[in-house]
Chains A and B, each alone.
Chain A
Amino acid sequence: MDFSFSEEQTLLRNTIQSFIQDNYDFDKRREIIQSEEGMSKDNWKQLAELGLLGVPFSENDGGLEFGSVETMIVAEEFGKGLVVEPYIQTVVTCGGFLRRASEAQRQEYLPSLISGDEIWAFAYAEPQGRFNLADIKVSASKNGNDYTLNGDKCVVSAAPWAQKLIVSARTSGDQSDKEGISLFIVDKSTDGVSTRDYKTVDGSMASEISFENVKLNSSSLIGEEGDAYALIELVADETIAALCAEAIGAMSVLNETTVEYCKTRKQFGQPIGKFQVLQHRMVDMFMQYEQSVSMTYMVNLKLEEEDVERSKAASGAKVQICNAAKFIGQSAVQLHGGMGMTDELNVGHYFKRLSMIETQLGNADHHLKKYSLAS
């Protein structure tokens, strides 16, 4: 057993830290999220040049062939920097599907993903389905060698920036059957794909997407028809592991900022950090953070386990992260007083990102239930 990072991993962390230091101070981030584009194409290109877009892919596919611990490091540092560029969406989630796709698909799609020329988004959520990944009404009906895609996906993170989508669709079965779900690669410019793009509360972007008689060749199918659910669960768990890492990055900044503020802000003739009631709150924030770090390591080390173990690890970690995100986010605002309520301080921006992570791929209630059912 060993919880230390290798030299190579530390180097990777340092690389990202200096990228964020050079390109991502709070004012620059504000400029990026307020721009019409909503992200920085230059930053994306730089991430590609640093090799970061190739982290999880095999060397044969042009990647760095790193594991989940390296992805965790990247996501954690991005969490500290509050990076909006869609790393998790493109590399972890869609990359997670693509690195398990056919040889032909990997050759066709991975080079332009790794080079930063194409951004990807995973369209899975539907208005009626809430957090149930199997509750799918979007249909893909087969005629001959082709499929026709119809239906609506909602709040598709990073879709406004994406050229390519991976879409979960029903090829057979009833609305929430786990069987009969298939995954398709869809070029966003295909006829019949229409989007409504918007900004999100945490400074990112998302789209509502409608598919109307979108014609797809069977070469766009990932894996076997009707058999995608297990893969969706696997990649969702990998994404959760990365989101947990992003969250602990954000939490660490909030905790440091809050402790620093309470040491300097004076009321009643002394730093407010001298008041026991605030000390205990910050101690609780710290303990929540430490438990979140531990659960993040845990899930990232268990992603290779068989399905039930892995799924429990992901749900357990997500429950811890959701609860800690809420407590730390709310407490950081509270302890900053009125200043914590302003758009001017970074505290609120971290709070918003953490609040959104709570919901992504299922909130605490959802994962507690999932955990209980698996136990």
Chain B
Amino acid sequence: MDLDFNQDDIDFRNEVRDFIKVSYTQEMKDELARSKNGSASKELHIKWQKSLYEKGWIAPNWPEEHGGPGFTTTQKYIFETEMAHAGAPRTIPFGLSMVAPVLMEFGTEEQKKKYLPDILSTKVWWCQGYSEPGSGSDLASLQCKAEDKGDHYLVNGTKIWTTLAQHADMIFCLVRTSKTEKPQEGISFLLIDMKSPGIDVRPLITLDQSPSPYQEVNQVFFEDVKVPKENLVGEENKGWTYAKYLLEFERGNSYSPSLYRGIQKLKDIARDTSTGNGKYLINDMDFINKLNQCEIEVQALEFVELRIFSALSAGQRVGPESSILKCRGTELQQKIQELSVEAIGYWSSPFVYDTFANINEPSIGPEYAMTITPSYLNGRKTTIYAGSNEIQRNIISKAVLGL
């Protein structure tokens, strides 16, 4: 057991830093720094992901046979840390880290050939069709149905909280293919072309009030949408198994690198925030103790993550322990956002219209303050989405503790 980097690791770290210096341009930095909800324009995301793709680093968790870079655990750690430290955009997860692992595990050879390369190159943008208005925490109660019409399915129903569906080319959906006593047993996993006739995407405006077309989530309506049979993943009515497999990837990523970045930004704010009489917030022990409490908890999470991820090889899933990461990662993220609002004091109050703040007019108060309240408000979603943290605790209680 040791924490040391060898010379190869140090060389790799320099390579990552050089890559970021060249590929993460000032223009991209400016755009992302102004984003109220953490997303940038579709063009920026695609440009960034293509540069990662060309370098061979777009999918650090994929096995090499499908185009993964074959990083060691240490390299993965270095990669994520450097990316987060630089504040680089996150890759859009729906294709790369959600549907792709499912296809690798349960898809046919044709499906792998058809979809995986386009996910890797960001030629196709995916979104996720899981929740429905009546089926949130109780996902298995979902009603969106796919009827067998011989050579195709006919899909009717709706999906909600569909992140960035307005940009998507494809959606992976959980649909009901049969009514069984156990609702889990009648669900199938279907891939649907977003250009199919009968699909309607409507924006949902959330607390940060990012206006359409920059909304983060949508409701997607399906009316007599024809989906070819070959778009079924795995077996009919076995979709619940694949859905759960996917959720462990959705929840089981590392949070600590970006949390450290959040703490770093918060320290910068505290250094810049005058508290009167020539003093600054960074000298205020009450505030600094809270900030450092957060930093210590982030470090605890970091080492949980390192222990878990170093036990896995590429393409493996975390298992129910992913719920620990999801709970602690999201709750710490919210805590940092909360402290950020606290730090900026009265500058938390001005409302920012544009999704990309400060484009049309100079900021009110310091520039960095403009995105802090919107991020805090929007960040409340993180303990709700991907299975609320109440559900995550139920999972840990049942699957880990055996209660």
Residues of A within 8 A of B (CB): 125, 127-132, 134-135, 154-155, 175-176, 196, 198-202, 206, 208, 266-269, 272, 275, 277-278, 326, 330, 333-334, 337-338, 340-344, 348, 351-352, 355-356, 359, 363, 365, 368-369
* Interface band, chain B: 35 or more
Residues on the B chain within 8 Å of A351, using CB = 207, 377
CB of B342 within 8 A of CB of A340, answer no
B250-292 with Cβ < 8 A to chain A: 273-278, 281, 284, 286-287
Given contacts A155-B349, A200-B350, contact A267 B138 (CB under 8 A): yes
B202-237 with Cβ < 8 A to chain A: 204-207, 209, 217
Residues on the B chain within 8 Å of A266, using CB = 134
Provide the bound-state CA to CA distance between A275 and B390, in Å. 10
Given contacts A129-B276, A135-B276, A277-B393, contact A343 B346 (CB under 8 A): no
Segment of B13-21, B57-65, B80-88, B378-386 in the binding face: B378-386
CB of B131 within 8 A of CB of A338, answer yes
CB of B277 within 8 A of CB of A341, answer no
CB of B286 within 8 A of CB of A365, answer yes
CB of B364 within 8 A of CB of A196, answer yes
CB of B138 within 8 A of CB of A268, answer yes
Q: Counting CB contacts under 8 A, is B70 at the interface? A: no
CB distance from B131 to the nearest CB of A (A): 7
Q: SS class of chain B's interface: helix, strand, loop or mixed?
A: mixed
CB distance from A168 to the nearest CB of B (A): 13
Which residue of chain A is the closest to B210 with respect to CB atoms? A343
Residues on the B chain within 8 Å of A275, using CB = 390
Residues of B within 8 A of A (CB): 131, 134-138, 141, 160-161, 204-207, 209, 217, 273-278, 281, 284, 286-287, 334, 338, 341-342, 345-351, 364-365, 373, 376-378, 380-381, 383-385, 388, 390, 393
**Can you sample 25 A-B contacts with CB below 8 Å?**
A127-B274, A128-B274, A128-B276, A130-B346, A131-B275, A199-B350, A201-B377, A267-B135, A268-B137, A268-B141, A334-B384, A334-B388, A337-B137, A338-B160, A338-B217, A338-B384, A341-B217, A341-B384, A342-B207, A343-B207, A348-B207, A352-B207, A352-B377, A356-B349, A359-B348
Among B161, B205, B276, B342, the most chain A Cβ lie within 10 Å of the Cβ of: B276
CB of A135 within 8 A of CB of B277, answer yes
Which residue of chain A is the closest to B131 with respect to CB atoms? A338
CB distance from A30 to the nearest CB of B (A): 12
Residues on the B chain within 8 Å of A198, using CB = 350-351, 364
**A127 partner, pick from B207, B281, B348, B365, beta carbons under 8 A:** B365
CB of B276 within 8 A of CB of A363, answer no
CB of A201 within 8 A of CB of B383, answer no
Residues on the B chain within 8 Å of A199, using CB = 350-351
Name 8 extra pairs, CB < 8 A, besides A155-B350, A337-B136.
A132-B275, A134-B276, A155-B347, A201-B350, A338-B381, A343-B205, A348-B206, A348-B377
